[in-house]
Chain A
Amino acid sequence: MAAPLGTLRECREALAAGATSSSALVEQSLARAEACAHLRAFVRLRADAARAEARESDRRRARGEVRSPLDGIPIAVKDILVRAGEETTCASKILEGFVSPYTSTVMERLEAAGAISIGATNMDEFAMGSSTEHSVYGPSRNPWDLARTPGGSSGGSAAAVAAGIVPAAIGTDTGGSIRQPASFCGVVGLKPTYGRVSRYGLVAFASSLDQIGCFARSAEDVAVVQDVIAGHDPRDSTSIPEPAPRCSNALDGDVAGLVIGLPREYYEPAGIEPGVLAAVREATAALERAGAKLREVSLPHSEHAVATYYLIATAEASSNLARYDGVRYGHRAQGAHSLSEMYRKTRSEGFGPEVKRRIVLGTYVLSAGYYDAYYRKAQQVRTLIRRDFEAAFRGCDLIATPTMPETAFRIGERTEDPLRMYLSDVYTVSANLAGLPGVSLPCGFASGLPVGLQLLASPLDEARLLRAADAYQRLAAHHLARPPERG
């Protein structure tokens, strides 16, 4: 069985030392993907293209041209970012066969940096879900326990990194879809500030919340990828027109004097598994021993975050997903006698149950008569949640919370109870509502399953966030733990 790949740093150093080649890394990555096919982390491999790109990278390196620290490194990208001439489906039947005429900015930047995507990773359909079970290709599995979900919606990317198929992968986070699977799979996942990474070429779910980010096994590796994908892009009108400072340069291991806020509403023992709480408390204590100061802060509107999130996210989704009508691309139902019947049949055949549920809820909250009571009300509470964070950050530099109140749940356990699935997003959705950067770091285990520590920062402060994350990983090596090999 193909051995797992090392961390991004190990791969980079082996390439730089001439101890391996990009072609060898890509072969190992493809073989590992094959050996881990039971995880269903990938929905499509681009083996031939990846091999050709690896040969190019090796030729460049032989000439002394290295484009970036990612040059020649195999990575994986969630099946939601388009690349010209290749299929993108968002794990939905409605996009089957869709070949994009253009390339997303993030894919362009990765390619320009020399990174090599070995394939598209599995996800909840249109990124709607917390388990990667809502995929037309079937559920992904958690490498730590195959009966459990890797989380979602970017579950395939998280599982691929955890299993050592690739050292880094791209995901998207609308309400926790990077941080939650990172927590469940024991890897690092960064959701950057809203607007920090261009969404051009990202299939939209909830446009005011969606953000692209990455997974890797260490904060240091995440910083390398973030430095490649971040920065202003005129093709995304919500892209922040500020230069993105290099996060990699900020990792000095120093947390002395850093003030870390612990929101009292996030540490209510009633809502958290005891093993998760204990691991998170130990992680913040380790940061304190290294010189950080812990301070209790308050986010008084936290209890309303999940409701606010689901109203805004479904409203935006119902509007964004109106474009799937069977006219221009993707699936079209056969045998319809009129245009409106074709729309109904196409959408009913093409969307899965969770997507339909959210479209109907979103249509409802935007409809005349309910708009003020639901959608506008949620937008107002969103303002209050933002203000809570602004006030909290006046008294601290970062906020530390559990990423999830629990460890990975079993496949099938929650599919009949969507509300319960939504409620577990309680600690992640606020960062999307407020547009903040957040990272989930492995901070130990509860009953043998990984636990995630979430750090949140003020907008655009990814450098400080990753400096603290990297400093923690110099104190505790939980991120280096590997899931058991099968068989």
Chain B
Amino acid sequence: MTGLPVFLRGIAVICEKNMRLYYTKPPVLMFGVLFPLFMFLAFFVGRNLDLLTFFPGFLAMMLFFTSSSVGPLITPWEKREKTYERLLSYPVTQDSIIFGDIVAGAIFGVGISLLVWLASILFLPVVVINPGLFGLAFVLGTLAFSALGVLLASPASNSPPNVMIFSNLIRFPLIFMSGIFIPLSQMQGPGLILAYCSPLTYLVDLFNAAVSGTSVFAPLVDGGVLLAVTIVFILVARLIQVRNLTKGL
């Protein structure tokens, strides 16, 4: 049995292994769950802001952090624990390993973000006017940022703390330039140009479209950008991981 069935089996087995092993690791819980929650508390609570206006941004931030927190940990952790070499000796392709990591990150992102959304609607009168678009935003967002997480794990390191620090260096600036704290419609000049460069901007915009029906870009553009960056992240992660395959073993 070769080809697609083996590829898919590899993704499923690696994803299951990742879910079992990495969802409860302290760095994932810290940077994937607690950190966005604290960010929310720090920026939104007690500041007399319209939480409904900022809800799509908050949900996007949650999804961004949760989805991108599993990926950076897996490869460095496996290299440090010396399990990566055995993984490479199994009949799975490098692509199965990468996609298995992405899917595990995406499921974590969807799971936690859905919980946050469900908890939020208990306290906020959030109405999603386009549930289909809302679901699409969830899927595209988790895939894009889970792929970003795997890309961030690509440097040749067997030190999870180093990779987590590196990944936070990339992730933190993105939340400040993506229309989460300042709506995209109120941005101008260099801030707006930077916002256009951030993939998170398009997820915030897509959530805005789904929740309130107002968005800067057409949903097709937002979705297209998220899909495109997902592909770019996967291709670059693949390129770097293949080059660094045995570094740190």
Q: Do A and B bind each other?
A: no
Residues of A within 8 A of B (CB): none
Residues of B within 8 A of A (CB): none
